[in-house]
Amino acid sequence: MLQRRVLIIVAILAVAIIVMASVISIAVLTGERKRADDTGSTPEGGLEITEANNRFGFDIFKEVWKEDENTFISPWSIFTALSMTYEGARETTAEEMEDVLYLPENASYRHSSFARVHNEINDMDGNCEIHTANAIWPQEGYPFLEEYIDLIETYYASSVENLDFKTDPDGSREIINDWVEEQTNDRIKDLLPPNSIDELTRMVLTNAIYFKGDWLSQFDPADTRDTPFYVNGNEEHDVPTMTFDGEVELNYYEDENLQALELPYSGEELSMLLLLPRENDGLNDLVNGLSIDLLDDVNDGLSEEKVSVNLPKFRLETDYDLVPPLSDLGMPDAFDGGADFSGMDGTGGLFISGVYHKAFVEVNEEGTEAAAATAVVMTLSMNGPRHIYFTADHPFLFIIQQRQTGNILFMGSLSDPR
């Protein structure tokens, strides 16, 4: 009888495991992802987070942009990873990060609004593949505040996986990098470079975003041809260029300084907005003039026109150390050993030792594939709380003194206690 009961229990467990595995497989195949809690959010709140991301995006782009180099970043990825980090900041550290990120001060409003935008990205139409994911990687056994971990899980839909940075920093780095690769369809590799993680690392916060979409109106590969592209305003090089003959109506805008063209992706929920300076050497002025007002003017001014298009095919892979530009933008306190992230662990003994960002984009006749990831590395500060050991296991001096005056009454040394 006992043996029969054991067999029944084993069979039930086996069925349960199979059912759970099936559910997980279905979720993966259908693209279902963990949702953030956007209860109480409003469209206005979502727009405020979007504007904050855009303002920050323009600021950080200007910081990393170099006139003679290609530049590509994901503002949303950087903004998200830093926003999760900000939730644990306090005092001056928090004030600086709030200003740089343009974040709303009201916590409950900010949380639900951020959750709303996160969900909107992952809920977009299936005509394009688009998803974003967050994960935090705490040091196992380190006393992070439960309310901080819960907040990040709830409103940022973050997964949480404990790692052992103390004894296996490089193995932990590889686990995080593998997660990033998986989330970005293998487009972002080795986000965390060697030596970016060490035995003093206590948490890494990551965001990944991936996009692949076909143009609503695709370019014909047969029409692609080599045409001149003027590097640095006058240096001419022939590059593969895609063309439209002007039969398709596209959203277009122009003023005395630039031309703008919107190329929608299948499903029409996403598009690429191209901003072309009038002058060959006008990119510097355009970048310096980037602003929310400029973007609003362009988007509001778009109207359908028949436009002949010549657009180079291109593929970019970029990576950035964002500590210097973020510090220059106005949040140096976060990278100092005296930073206050006591909202994470209650002690304030952590600081940001690294912010790593990688991005990929390929534009061709079919459409666009893009991916990016950001990692924020939190390290234990030597200025923070320490666990001190005093082990008198070798020769030493000793003094007997009056405490109030420091007057030495006796003084000696111990070389051999036998």
CATH number at residue 257: 2.30.39.10
Q: Are residues 62 and 85 located together in one domain of the fold?
A: yes
Which pLDDT score, from 0 to 100, does residue 12 have?
40
Q: What is the pLDDT of residues 112-147, one digit of tens each?
A: 999 999 999 999 877 889 999 999 999 999 999 999
Q: Are residues 255 and 326 located together in one domain of the fold?
A: no
Q: 161: burial class by Cβ within 10 Å (0-12, 13-18, 19+)?
A: middle
CATH number where 91 lies: 3.30.497.10
- Check whether 384 has a pLDDT greater than 50: no
Q: Which of 129-138, 213-222, 362-371, 376-385 has the lowest mean pLDDT?
A: 376-385
Bigger pLDDT: 12 or 93?
93
> Which domain-ending residue is among 312, 335, 353?
312
- Check whether 415 has a pLDDT greater than 70: no
Q: Is residue 399 part of a domain?
A: no
User: Domain limits at 70?
Assistant: 43-214+315-380
Q: Are residues 205 and 264 located together in one domain of the fold?
A: no
pTM of the predicted protein model: 0.85
Which pLDDT score, from 0 to 100, does residue 138 have?
97
Mean pLDDT of the chain: 84
* Number of structural domains found in the chain: 2
The residues facing 293 across adjacent strands are none
Which pLDDT score, from 0 to 100, does residue 188 have?
97
Q: Are residues 308 and 319 located together in one domain of the fold?
A: no
Give percent above pLDDT 70 in the chain. Answer: 83
- Check whether 23 has a pLDDT greater than 60: no
Q: Are residues 180 and 195 located together in one domain of the fold?
A: yes
Residue 361 pLDDT grade (very low, low, confident, very high; cuts 50, 70, 90): confident
Q: Are residues 305 and 319 located together in one domain of the fold?
A: no
